[in-house]
Structure 1
Amino acid sequence: MGEMSGFQLGVIGALFLSVASSVSIVICNKALMSHLGFPFATTLTSWHLMVTYCTLHVAQRFNFFENKAIDMQTVMLFGMLNGVSIGFLNLSLGFNSIGFYQMTKLAIIPFTVLLETLFLKKQFSQKIKFSLFLLLVGVGIASVTDLQLNLVGTILSLLAIVTTCVGQILTNTIQKRLNVSSTQLLYQSAPFQAAILFVSGPLVDQYLTRQNVFAYKYSPLVLGFIILSCLIAVSVNFSTFLVIGKTSPVTYQVLGHLKTCLVLGFGYTLLHDPFTERNIIGILVAIIGMGLYSYFCTHENKKKQLGDLSPGSQVPLPLSSLAIETLCTGAVHLDIGMAK
């Protein structure tokens, strides 16, 4: 019981860290991109990852964690896949309307469930599938507006969905199969993620913004916000690996949509964004879906522990009620092109 209680506290801590760091970096990046005119999202992400690696390298040198050797080919492919997924998500936002981009993000959950069912033989009950469907409907009602389709944008969105789902599944699978911590995996994969974005980021950003990141005039204020953003990103990247490692890719996506609902409420309350009955209905439906998801996961995990489920069945760990209550204190997320 003590170990289980400690594990649940670890999950709650990981979820809280994920939301808190995401809120902080969104506020910082919103100021940097919208108010200071620095629109280079993909290049900024490469800097985030480089600072993350440097920070973890220093921590490892001071023995804050033990480095564990992982097959180099696995790490390289994993790091490059995550880097590519960020690029595709940003390109998807650039080539599609906001509504279609939101649909792209919504599609990640059912596609992740499909992949885990087909290739990892995980079993999701009808109740969990229904709760996820309810969640997606609610978020869709609240956040999706126009749906303008084009061939290039659709292809990029499909590539973004596939690479993001596979990357998040591998994050969970590699940690468990190779018995490595989230810190160890992030430490070894971050250089490869940073490298691919460092090369492709300026090209992607120039195509999307018609501006050259190297020709941009960096003021002291802009540099200060870039440094702050990079420092916060260390926590964002770490918490992402931590949440997926302790729970599941599906739970991580549910957490992301919880942030979306909180954003809409937060934006209306503090930023006075436009708010309609559709937003309210969508948020309520999504919250019901998340509540059912958490309840069904908890119930099925208890049944599994008691041996009532078949040995091969697996269910994702839930967002505990305490975690949801903690998260509902006012997180904010603004879509400004940062994919992760």
Structure 2
Amino acid sequence: MATRLSDLFGNSRIIAGLLVNLLSSICIVFINKWIYVHYGFPNMTLTLIHFVMTWLGLFICQKMDIFAPKSLRPSKILLLALSFCGFVVFTNLSLQSNTIGTYQLAKVMTTPVIIAIQTMYYRKTFSTKIKLTLVPITLGVILNSYYDVRFNLMGMIFATLGVLVTSLYQVWVGAKQHELQVNSMQLLYYQAPMSSAFLLVLVPFFEPLTGDGGIFGPWSFLALFMVLLSGVIAFLVNLSIYWIIGNTSPVTYNMFGHFKFCITLLGGYVLFQDPLSLNQGLGILCTLTGILAYTHFKLAEQEEGKSRLTQRP
């Protein structure tokens, strides 16, 4: 009986964690898009608020002993903090400038770019099957972008920069975690305030501080509430991702990611009336097929690697 209750409690926690991640990951996209469309809130300032809220959330978490901070030299994470700024700012600019469908599909290109970076600069090898899955992923993104009736050049530039910087950031995060022997929360705890400081210096040069569109402008209560809510949700996204990775299997995490991908795309078309042509639909299906194939082969290779390790004498 006690075992059953323990299993039930454990499963309930996992379901709750997945739901938090699902809701927060989807809400952050829709709320940010809503803020950009209906309030015109400045992008870099919103990103700065996200960073500050994330750090405050992590500060509370470490006070509650959810994780133990580890002392790190600022010079060790300086480049990482800069890339964190770039990755969030450019992806938010992509969201601001593109339809949600194009924004989501552009983010998928992170996988091929990461593979290219790791192959060229880290001498990492990938199987032919993995490389072939990048064909439908890339083709689908191109199809969707080409037939997007709201296509705009600046949006694609932001999306491209977002993909490049995000890919670098993700590669560097993995390398830094290994180098410094820290987990993602410990790294983010030091990285978030440093990134906030960078943006605090940059914001006055790129965005107005007062008047219409400025951080100290005449914003309505609802606009400020939505911005703060966006910051809280940004923290929940980071926290729930860390929790899911630590408490579920890679299969669960990846398949759940695909589900969020589909829901976010659907929500974009429903909430913001983003147009969807047949060719765009084919592009989305093509990309989704590539993502599923990539996940299948990647997880199969990981399982094969584990079985080889266990079979060694």
Give the TM-score, by structure 2 length. 0.74
Amino acid at match of 2:222: L
Call closer, same or farther: CA 1:13–1:50 in 2, change over 3 Å.
same
Alignment of 1:65-76 (within 5 A): 65-76=67-78
| 1:24 alignment counterpart | 27
Call closer, same or farther: CA 1:204–1:24 in 2, change over 3 Å.
same
Amino acid at match of 1:24: C
Alignment of 1:188-199 (within 5 A): 188-199=190-201
- Maintained 8 Å contact 1:93/1:101: yes
Deviation track 1:239-295 (CA, whole Å, cap 9, x = no partner) reads 566789999xxxx99988875554333344566543321132222222221221122
SS state of the match for residue 56, structure 1?
helix
Call closer, same or farther: CA 1:18–1:171 in 2, change over 3 Å.
farther
Specify every segment of 5 or more residues in structure 1 that has no aligned partner in the other structure, as ranges.
1-9, 312-340
Q: Measure the CA separation in 2 of the matches of 1:227 and 1:254.
A: 30
| 1:176 alignment counterpart | 178
Which protein is richer in helix relative to its size?
Answer: 2
- Maintained 8 Å contact 1:84/1:196: no
| 1:34 alignment counterpart | 37
| 1:285 alignment counterpart | 286
| 1:111 alignment counterpart | 113
Q: Displacement, 1:51?
A: 1.3
Alignment of 1:64-143 (within 5 A): 64-89=66-91, 105=107, 107-143=109-145
Q: Measure the CA separation in 2 of the matches of 1:30 and 1:92.
A: 10
Call closer, same or farther: CA 1:286–1:279 in 2, change over 3 Å.
same
After the TM superposition, which of the residue ranges 83-92 and 290-299 deviates more from structure 2? 83-92
Amino acid at match of 2:265: L
- Maintained 8 Å contact 2:136/2:286: yes
Q: Displacement, 1:43?
A: 0.6
Deviation track 1:208-264 (CA, whole Å, cap 9, x = no partner) reads xx95414521222122212211111111233566789999xxxx9998887555433
Amino acid at match of 2:116: L
Amino acid at match of 1:50: V
Q: Displacement, 1:28?
A: 2.3
Percent sequence identity over aligned pairs: 31
SS state of the match for residue 193, structure 2?
helix
Amino acid at match of 1:223: L
- Maintained 8 Å contact 1:182/1:245: no
Call closer, same or farther: CA 1:211–1:266 in 2, change over 3 Å.
same
| 2:236 alignment counterpart | 235
Amino acid at match of 2:282: I
- In the alignment of these two chains, the number of paired residues is 292
Give the TM-score, by structure 1 length. 0.69
| 1:45 alignment counterpart | 47
SS state of the match for residue 213, structure 1?
coil
Call closer, same or farther: CA 1:73–1:163 in 2, change over 3 Å.
same
Deviation track 1:33-69 (CA, whole Å, cap 9, x = no partner) reads 323x133122111011111111211221232211112
- Maintained 8 Å contact 1:139/1:261: no
Q: Displacement, 1:149?
A: 5.8
Q: Measure the CA separation in 2 of the matches of 1:117 and 1:285.
A: 24
SS state of the match for residue 306, structure 1?
helix
Deviation track 1:156-175 (CA, whole Å, cap 9, x = no partner) reads 77655443222111112222
Q: Measure the CA separation in 2 of the matches of 1:178 and 1:62.
A: 23
